[in-house]
Amino acid sequence: MKIAAIFGAIALCLPAFAQADTIGFEIGASVWNQNYAGTVQSGPDSINLEQTLGLQDETDKSFYLLIEHPIPLIPNFLFAKTEISVEETGTINVGFNFDGAEFTEDALVTTDSDLSYTDLTLYYELLDNWINFDAGITVRQFDGGITLTGNGLTAREKFDDILPMLYLAAKFDLPLTGLYIGGDMNTLSYNGDALVDYKLNIGYETSFGLGLEAGWRSFDLDFADSSDEKIDTAIDGGYASIFYHF
């Protein structure tokens, strides 16, 4: 993909200023119950992640660090690491070709799938009162792929791309309660490829900055390197997190 062109188009959508009241930091960690669906292809055959490879629900984790400041023009920073990895071993119900390797029906195959990623987000606060609204750019780096082992064979399709994405986040504080509702989204759609990653949540933050949050998270990826190298997967489920804002 023409990454520079995408990055430039997203940048034009952003405001030219930022202003916060004080310097602020927030750190947090989450656990996410991940349900897998979709297909992967590296060769002539499209392979179902659930029905053929037997990928089951998995619980994984994520971490983030957020830095906000009152300096105009310079964006705020959000660094995040999200784990999306699962390993399953099972007997496949249909033969297929993956990365040039022929896996036969009824073979015992181990699938090691890793779509974990690291985000660096630069964003501006457009609203900062009981309604909070942020917009910016996320640069997301994947460093994984899918490896199949069985029949005395090992085959791997890498997924190690760097993608620029539009970042949007909103939060609505419920007055005098410490409760809030909100959500955020990273999204990209270009030349047939698409990635939508979002959260919807409800949370509670104490007066001294410690908070809890729970909600729904969804990761939907449709990406093709070529006509026979594709991944089309949806991973979603509930999540819970703890954070400290200071």
Q: Which residues pair with 193 in a beta bridge?
A: 190
Residue 6 has pLDDT above 50, yes or no: no
Amino acid found at 126:
L
Host domain of residue 228 = 3-245
Number of helical H runs and strand E runs in the chain: 1, 17
Mean pLDDT computed over 139-158: 93
The total of structural domains in the chain comes to 1
> DSSP letter at 246?
-
Q: Are 205 and 180 in contact (CB under 8 A)?
A: yes
**The domain that contains 217 carries what CATH number?**
2.40.128
pLDDT mean across residues, the chain: 90
Q: What is the pLDDT of residue 3?
A: 45
pLDDT in tens, 60-94: 999 999 999 888 889 999 999 999 999 999 999 99
Q: What is the pLDDT of residue 21?
A: 65
First CA to last CA across the chain, in angstroms? 39
Mean pLDDT computed over 24-44: 95
Binned at pLDDT 50, 70 and 90, residue 135 comes out as very high
**pTM beyond 0.85, yes or no:** yes
Q: What is the pLDDT of residue 22?
A: 75
Tell me the percentage of the chain whose pLDDT exceeds 90.
76
Q: Are 97 and 45 in contact (CB under 8 A)?
A: yes
Residue 96 has pLDDT above 90, yes or no: yes
Three-class SS state of 97: strand
Residue 56 has pLDDT above 80, yes or no: yes
Q: Parallel, antiparallel, or unpaired for β 131-142 and 117-128?
A: antiparallel
Tokens, residue 28: 């947090």
Tokens, residue 197: 């990653």
User: For residue 5, what is the enclosing H or E element?
Assistant: helix 3-11
Residue 2 has pLDDT above 50, yes or no: no
> DSSP letter at 22?
S
Q: What is the dihedral of CA 174, 180, 186, 189, to 10 degrees?
A: -50
